Amino acid sequence: MLHVWMVSGEELITVPVEELGDVRALKHHLRAKRSLPICLQQLLHDGSRLDDMQQLGVPMDIQLVLLARANAVQAGRELLDAARTGEVGAARMLVDAGAEKEP
């Protein structure tokens, strides 16, 4: 199982390792289940940053750090998606992180 925790110690999700192939898939899962913008997610394991392409093949505890700033263009794309799907919390986080508001 993968356990994803916030810095505060709050457990966000527990998911079987087999359901996800890599870190990018985990980020998309967190977006779908918890409305956390992908571009603001920084995932760590044992204090080391996990690369998006890293495979998740073993059970582990992962810590999620939400970044305060994001690439404006990438955040802007996510902002449009959040607005289309009515994800107000995610949209607010993206605007606060500097998302471009014009496509």
Q: What is the CATH number of domain 2-96?
A: 3.10.20.90
What whole-number distance in Å separates Cα of residue 55 and Cα of residue 12?
20
The alpha carbon of residue 3 and the mean position of all alpha carbons in its chain are separated, in whole angstroms, by 14
Domains of the chain, by residue range, sit at 2-96
Whole-structure pTM value: 0.88
The pair of structure tokens assigned to 103 is: 């496509």
* SS3 assignment, position 58: coil
Q: Kindly provide the b/e burial profile for residues 52-75, where b requires at least 16 CB atoms within 10 angstroms of the residue's own CB.
A: eeeebeeeeebbbeeeeebeeebb
Q: Is pLDDT of 101 > 90?
A: no
For the segment 54-77, the average pLDDT, to the nearest whole number, is 92
The pLDDT, as a whole number, for residue 94 is 94
DSSP state of 40: G
The pLDDT, as a whole number, for residue 103 is 55
For the segment 44-48, the average pLDDT, to the nearest whole number, is 95
Q: Is-contact 60 88, C-beta < 8 A? A: no
> Mean pLDDT across the chain, nearest whole number?
93
For the stretch 18-28, pLDDT in tens is: 899 999 999 99
Question: What confidence category does residue 45 fall into, taking pLDDT thresholds of 50, 70 and 90?
Answer: very high
Question: What confidence category does residue 100 fall into, taking pLDDT thresholds of 50, 70 and 90?
Answer: confident
